Amino acid sequence: MNRPLVIDAHLDLAMNALEWNRDLARPLADIRQREMGLRDRPDRGKGTVCLPELRQGRIGLVVATQLARVTPYGSSLPGWHSPQQAWATTQAQLAWYREMEALGELVQITNGAELEAHLTLWNDRTTPDEGKAIGYILSLEGADSLVDVSYLHRAYAYGLRAVGLSHFGPGRYAPGTKMAGPLTPLGRELLKEMGQLRLILDVTHLTDEGFDQALEAYQGPVWASHHNVRQLVPTQRQLTDGQIRRLIERGAVIGGMLDCWAMDLRFIDTVSDPWQLNIRLENLVDHWDHICQIAGNSQHVAIGSDLDGIFGTEQSPWDLNSVADLQKYGAILARRGYRPADIDNILHGNWLRFLREAWR
């Protein structure tokens, strides 16, 4: 069977490796087994992502994050108490990525030439996928860990190529999910430096006001790595139709995410059950459909699964056992009337077109 290449534009690999203590080079069954007696997190024993499963699903290229939030005094959110602690955490995450490179498990992709060479590797059907390194593009989810704007240049030098200003709650550069308000002065300064380096701006997690300000201020490449549709799930975390139109005008791609609460408004974290609510992989196609109808084509939707982003199978579609099941989207989209060219766009083509343009 000629299975297509899949690109997933949002995976918190290093966070899972270091904060969840998951050896992602091991088979998924081994990782789950080692966690069966643990009760410190609701997703113990229910992880869906590891490097062998990525290869099994022909997910040969991912956008992988660094993530360390700074929590201000008085906030109930978990996080570090200083930017220096957060920066040190991202450097530990970077060290894990480097170790995976040393093992031949991962290879960092930072420019167009490296991208094309990596695609040649994964398009070579004479070589088994099991022996291929998975490409990763490094993204910073929330900029809190940049002690000051000069640290952006240090991060660019080690391969950072995409930045989101915010995450959840208050942020040093921008407020994030479940908040309101504008970019901070630091955030506006950071956007100027990002423009000099032509980094990709990830608008995911921005407030509505921050979204508008960022798009007005930033003239470089923009994407929404993991976002769904507010018309279907009316929470601040999702994109309005107006925001979708503005992203389309900028040539952006929007990665659909598989966290159940972002797919179906009925789902409540740690309470609901995906099977009881019949939340399936196909639910995400409703969100893609909505964006495609606004765009008039399939060129602005793709995958940004966010799998194992502080949740596991207890908060994923019930017909997904591992990240390898992203391959099921080919058949699901075909049943929904998508043509082969549209399916290729969603599984990999849109992200590739975006990256080629951004790195031209």
Tell me the per-residue pLDDT of 40-57, one tens digit each, with 9 for 90 and over.
Answer: 999 999 999 999 999 999
Using alpha carbons, select from 312, 351, 353 the residue that is nearest to residue 60. 351
Q: Name beta bridge partners: 65.
A: 139
What number does CATH give the domain 6-358? 3.20.20.140
Percent of the chain with pLDDT over 90: 97
CA gap 321, 328 in Å, rounded: 11
Average pLDDT for 193-213: 98
Does the pLDDT value for residue 225 go beyond 70?
yes
Cβ-contact 298, 346 below 8 angstroms: yes
CA gap 201, 286 in Å, rounded: 26
Average pLDDT for 21-31: 98
Query: In this predicted structure, what is the pLDDT of residue 49?
Result: 98
Query: In this predicted structure, what is the pLDDT of residue 298?
Result: 98
Query: In this predicted structure, what is the pLDDT of residue 281?
Result: 98
Query: In this predicted structure, what is the pLDDT of residue 256?
Result: 98
CA gap 128, 179 in Å, rounded: 46
Burial annotation 252-288 (CB, 10 A radius, 16+ → b, else e):
bbbbbbbbbbbbbeebeeeebebeebebbbbbbbbbb
Tell me the per-residue pLDDT of 97-135, one tens digit each, with 9 for 90 and over.
Answer: 999 999 999 999 999 999 999 999 999 999 999 999 999
Q: What does pTM read for this prediction?
A: 0.97
Average pLDDT for 200-209: 98
Map out the domains of the chain as residue ranges.
Answer: 6-358
Query: In this predicted structure, what is the pLDDT of residue 335?
Result: 98
Cβ-contact 38, 44 below 8 angstroms: yes
CB atoms within 10 A of CB 220: 15
Structure tokens at 313: 């199978």
Decide: residue 147, CB within 10 A, 0-12 exposed, 13-18 middle, 19+ buried.
middle
Q: What is the CA radius of gyration of the chain?
A: 19
Could you give the 3-state DSSP secondary structure of residue 87?
helix
Could you give the 3-state DSSP secondary structure of residue 107?
strand
Does the pLDDT value for residue 1 go beyond 70?
no
Q: Name beta bridge partners: 137.
A: 63
Query: In this predicted structure, what is the pLDDT of residue 2?
Result: 83
Sign, CA dihedral 91-84-184-156, equals negative
CA neighbours within 13 Å on the CB side: how many for 191? Answer: 24
Instruction: Write out the DSSP string of 272-283.
Output: --TTTTT--TTH
Using alpha carbons, select from 241, 169, 180 the residue that is nearest to residue 213. 180
Query: In this predicted structure, what is the pLDDT of residue 76?
Result: 87
What amino acid occupies position 310? Answer: I
Model confidence band, residue 74 (pLDDT cutoffs 50, 70, 90): confident
Query: In this predicted structure, what is the pLDDT of residue 102?
Result: 98
Query: In this predicted structure, what is the pLDDT of residue 75?
Result: 87
CA gap 283, 26 in Å, rounded: 30
Could you give the 3-state DSSP secondary structure of residue 183?
coil
Average pLDDT for 300-319: 98
Question: What are the start-end ranges of the E strands in 112-159?
Answer: 134-141
Tell me the per-residue pLDDT of 235-267, one tens digit each, with 9 for 90 and over.
Answer: 999 999 999 999 999 999 999 999 999 999 999
Q: What is the residue-averaged pLDDT of the chain?
A: 97
Decide: residue 113, CB within 10 A, 0-12 exposed, 13-18 middle, 19+ buried.
exposed
